[in-house]
């Protein structure tokens, strides 16, 4: 937690600003909200109080926590006060370029050297907004979704000069306030609004073209996306002017397909809400569904092709930010890529070049393969490879898909001759909170056996790899998550990491090797203490009992792990492999057998070129160049 000096400054006490302030204060950050007048600040404070009181009334928040959150937020009209010693300044003022740029000009001389400055713009170019701002490497877009106090999605948009360190800090700050960030390129509508805004527009076109009436379009959208509110009701709630203006902005940037329909314009000018009455017409519903799907799939596949976001993050954004049952790519895979492509093509034939079809979509449709979506990322970094669990919204819970994706990534890294060390970690601030309880709950005994067999197969693959594997654990490593980390050669953890095998509290026992690997690592007595109580231990305690090899402050964990992996990767590969074998196989055997094994393996190293090179380099006082032979 930052010190009092390192508060979060929120500029603007409107709906977005107050929601953002509440989100940070709820996570324990000191916050300073700044607006131009006391009246605006009072309105912001009232909004926060109202939200918190509602949560207390619903029993979701303790009154003491409400008071704590409120007392963490300071209000001021002085920009200097807000900016001074801020860790992060978030601009959330009126959505107009001139207003924002004027504020940034005023802010520029006031921010400290380490302060990060972000804009919460939803529609303006981040690069333009920060043009001329000093230290542009510390600036970016951080787009919260309404209502910012509860909506967990944020888009992080780097500007042309945003540094890697700034991106990492913004990701970590976002996770620390329980948001799920997605990385998005600076482009019109960023990721989510790029398809969501035209989706609303298309609903009005369907009405205009008499494809379906309002209740039918509402029902079609709700069935397609598992929502409770269709596009017309949503426009009524959030405001038709917002829908109209966002479509106009996108239209200006992206061309005629994105312009507001004539009907949306008319409704906006009349200043009336949509009339949502009557029953859905089943005869029209399928056409409306297909058409809406076509818009989503067409735009989403284009934005991925343009490099605006990945397909996985696009889907995640739709699920979390819009509360849709599925994102566009999972929808495509459900429909079948050929059917999805046909819907996109229909719209393309009508609009021509104004609604281009992504060539990647055409490719997957021709092959009739699903759009590939993974929950595990593989990032190669010289001689090391990061295998990153990437399901942050479920704390990387290990379902069958994650296990299969993990197996694929491990095999790919293991078979790459250029990779010497594997690091097993996650894209977020949690390693993995266990096997997926939601998937396990409905399993029959036979299905559970298949699931355990899959888990054992993948963890044994990791456990028996010739190349060293290091588990890099931040946040939670529980149940199957801890079992996964135990399949690595050793665990490095952040000081805040939380490790445990809580299975007995769910009526099960560890099923991915935990009873065996944990007992072998820390001894049966300590293992039983952890397993039978199901309690968690913090990393320092885990380190003291030998479960974790070393701990680091969270912000240093990945860099330190990387350095350590690079050190191992710089050693003689055959010697590293044989040393690993000597420990792994020897530890299970009686000491004389272990020593005999060591003797054989040590003698074998004398047959390698690497041994000559290593010793020669030592005597010649130079760095060895190992060949792995
Ligand atoms: N499974 C499914 N979803 C999970 C999950 C899990 N293990 N852990 C977290 N999530 C989901 C939450 O449901 C929530 O989803 P939404 O409600 O947002 O949709 C989201 O991740 C964020 O979690 P929270 O809102 O709960 O986050 P908090 O920070 O408040 O709490 C927590 C963090 C880690 C304390 C809490 O999430 C928690 O208690 N999670 C469950 C921890 C747990 O019990 N893990 C052990 C799972 S059992 C076998 C094979 C394998 C195994 C056993 C047998 N055979 C087939 C026989 C292995 C078993 C396990 O690993």
pLDDT per residue as tens digits for the range 286-297: 999 999 999 999
Domain architecture of the chain: domains with CATH: 8-183 (3.40.50.720), 192-367 (1.10.1040.50), 376-565 (3.90.226.10), 573-619 (1.10.12.10)
Q: Average pLDDT of the chain?
A: 96
| 36 Cα–ligand 1 center, Å | 44
| Residue 597 in tokens | 């094994």
Minimal CA–CA distance to 123: which of 12, 14, 253?
253
309 lines ligand 1 (CB under 6 A): no
Report DSSP state, residue 254.
H
What is the spatial distance between Cα 59 and Cα 262, in angstroms, rounded to a whole number?
Answer: 46
Ligand 1, from 60, 151, 390, 394: best to mutate by most atoms within 8 Å of Cβ? 394
Minimal CA–CA distance to 166: which of 150, 142, 145, 149?
142
- What is the structure's pLDDT at 135? 85
- What is the structure's pLDDT at 5? 63
Residue 317 has pLDDT above 70, yes or no: yes
455 lines ligand 1 (CB under 6 A): yes
What is the spatial distance between Cα 328 and Cα 334, in angstroms, rounded to a whole number?
Answer: 10
> Is the Cβ–Cβ distance between 332 and 298 less than 8 Å?
no
Residue of minimum CA distance from atom 38 in ligand 1: 433
How many CB atoms sit inside 10 A of residue 570's CB? 15
- The question of whether 306 is a catalytic residue gets the answer no
Q: What is the band of 611 on the pLDDT scale with cuts at 50, 70, 90?
A: very high
Phi-psi region of 425 (alpha: psi -120 to 50; beta: other; left: phi over 0): beta
451 lines ligand 1 (CB under 6 A): yes
Q: CB within 8 A of 371, min separation 6: which ones?
A: 301, 311, 329, 332, 333, 337, 361, 364
- What is the structure's pLDDT at 468? 98
Residue whose structure tokens are 């939803």: 122
| Residue 517 in tokens | 């690997």
Residue 402 has pLDDT above 90, yes or no: yes
Residue 259 has pLDDT above 80, yes or no: yes
| 56 Cα–ligand 1 center, Å | 25
| 175 Cα–ligand 1 center, Å | 17
Q: What is the DSSP string of 409-432?
A: HHHHHHT-TT--EEEEEESSS-SB
Which residue among the candidates 40, 503, 598, 613 is catalytic per the annotation?
A: 503
What is the spatial distance between Cα 176 and Cα 88, in angstroms, rounded to a whole number?
Answer: 13
What is the spatial distance between Cα 488 and Cα 564, in angstroms, rounded to a whole number?
Answer: 15
Which residue among the candidates 91, 483, 560, 625 is catalytic per the annotation?
A: 483
Minimal CA–CA distance to 439: which of 405, 394, 499, 476?
394
What is the spatial distance between Cα 187 and Cα 308, in angstroms, rounded to a whole number?
Answer: 7
Closest-lying ligand 1 atom to the alpha carbon of residue 510: 53
Beta bridge partners of 143: 155
150 lines ligand 1 (CB under 6 A): no
The distance of Cα 522 from the centroid of its chain, to the nearest Å, equals 33
> Is the Cβ–Cβ distance between 62 and 93 less than 8 Å?
no
- The question of whether 369 is a catalytic residue gets the answer no
Per-residue pLDDT of 56-112, as tens digits, reads: 999 999 999 999 999 999 999 999 999 999 999 999 999 899 999 999 999 999 998
Average pLDDT score over residue span 159-182: 96
- What is the structure's pLDDT at 549? 98
| 436 Cα–ligand 1 center, Å | 6
Average pLDDT score over residue span 114-125: 94
Instruction: Order across the sheet with 536-538: list the strands.
Output: 476-478, 498-500, 536-538
pTM: 0.93
Report DSSP state, residue 383.
T
Q: What is the band of 588 on the pLDDT scale with cuts at 50, 70, 90?
A: confident
- What is the structure's pLDDT at 4? 52
């Amino acid at each position: 937690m930052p010190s009092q000096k390192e508060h979060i400054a929120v500029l603007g006490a409107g709906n977005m600003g107050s929601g953002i302030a509440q989100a940070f204060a709820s996570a324990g950050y000191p916050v300073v909200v700044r607006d131009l007048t006391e009246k605006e600040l009072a309105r912001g404070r009232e909004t926060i109080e109202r939200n918190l009181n509602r949560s207390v009334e619903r029993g979701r928040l303790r009154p003491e926590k409400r008071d704590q959150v409120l007392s963490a937020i300071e209000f001021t009209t002085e920009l200097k006060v807000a900016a001074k010693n801020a860790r992060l300044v978030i601009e959330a003022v009126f959505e107009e370029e001139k207003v924002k740029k004027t504020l940034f000009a005023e802010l520029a001389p006031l921010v400290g050297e380490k302060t990060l400055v972000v804009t919460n713009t939803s529609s303006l170019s981040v690069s333009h907004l920060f043009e001329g701002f000093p230290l542009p490497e510390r600036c970016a877009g951080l787009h919260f979704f309404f209502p910012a106090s509860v909506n967990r999605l944020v888009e992080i948009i780097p500007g042309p000069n945003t540094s890697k360190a700034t991106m990492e800090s913004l990701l970590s700050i976002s996770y620390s306030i329980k948001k799920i960030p997605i990385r998005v390129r600076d482009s019109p509508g960023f990721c989510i609004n790029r398809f969501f805004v035209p989706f609303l527009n298309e609903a009005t076109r369907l009405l205009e073209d008499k494809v379906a009436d309002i209740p039918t379009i509402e029902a079609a959208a709700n069935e397609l996306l598992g929502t409770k509110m269709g596009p017309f009701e949503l426009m009524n709630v959030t405001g038709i002017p917002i829908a109209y203006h966002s479509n106009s902005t996108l239209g200006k940037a992206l061309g005629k397909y994105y312009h507001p329909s004539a009907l949306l314009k008319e409704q906006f000018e009349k200043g009336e809400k949509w009339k949502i009455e009557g029953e859905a017409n089943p005869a029209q519903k399928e056409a409306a569904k297909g058409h809406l799907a076509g818009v989503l799939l067409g735009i989403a596949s284009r934005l991925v092709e343009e490099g605006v976001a990945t397909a996985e993050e696009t889907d995640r954004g739709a699920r979390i930010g819009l509360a849709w049952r599925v994102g566009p790519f999972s929808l495509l895979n459900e429909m079948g890529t050929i059917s999805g492509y046909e819907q996109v093509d229909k719209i393309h034939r009508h609009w021509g070049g104004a609604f281009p079809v992504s060539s990647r979509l055409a490719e997957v449709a021709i092959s009739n393969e699903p759009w590939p979506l993974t929950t595990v990322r593989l990032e190669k970094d010289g001689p090391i490879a990061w295998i990153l669990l990437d399901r942050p919204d479920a704390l990387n819970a290990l379902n069958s898909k994650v296990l299969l994706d993990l197996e694929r990534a491990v095999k790919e890294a293991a078979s790459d001759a250029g990779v010497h060390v594997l690091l097993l970690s996650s894209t977020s601030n949690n390693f993995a909170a266990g096997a997926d309880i939601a998937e396990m709950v409905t399993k029959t005994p036979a299905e559970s056996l298949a699931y355990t067999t899959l888990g054992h197969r993948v963890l044994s693959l990791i456990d028996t790899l010739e190349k060293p594997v290091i588990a890099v654990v931040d946040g939670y490593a529980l149940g199957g998550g801890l079992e996964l980390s135990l399949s690595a050669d050793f665990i490095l953890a952040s000081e805040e990491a939380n490790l445990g095998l809580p299975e007995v509290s769910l009526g099960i026992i560890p099923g991915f090797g935990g009873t065996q690997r944990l007992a072998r690592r820390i001894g049966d007595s300590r293992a039983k203490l952890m397993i039978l109580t199901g309690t968690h231990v913090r990393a320092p305690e885990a380190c003291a009992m030998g479960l974790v090899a070393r701990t680091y402050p969270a912000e240093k964990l990945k860099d330190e792990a990387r350095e350590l992996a690079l050190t191992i990767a710089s050693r003689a590969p055959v010697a590293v492999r044989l040393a690993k074998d000597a420990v792994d196989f020897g530890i299970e055997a009686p000491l004389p057998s272990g020593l005999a094994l060591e003797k054989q393996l040590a003698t074998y190293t004398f047959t390698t070129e690497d041994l000559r090179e290593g010793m020669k380099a030592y005597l010649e006082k130079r760095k060895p160049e190992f060949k792995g032979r």
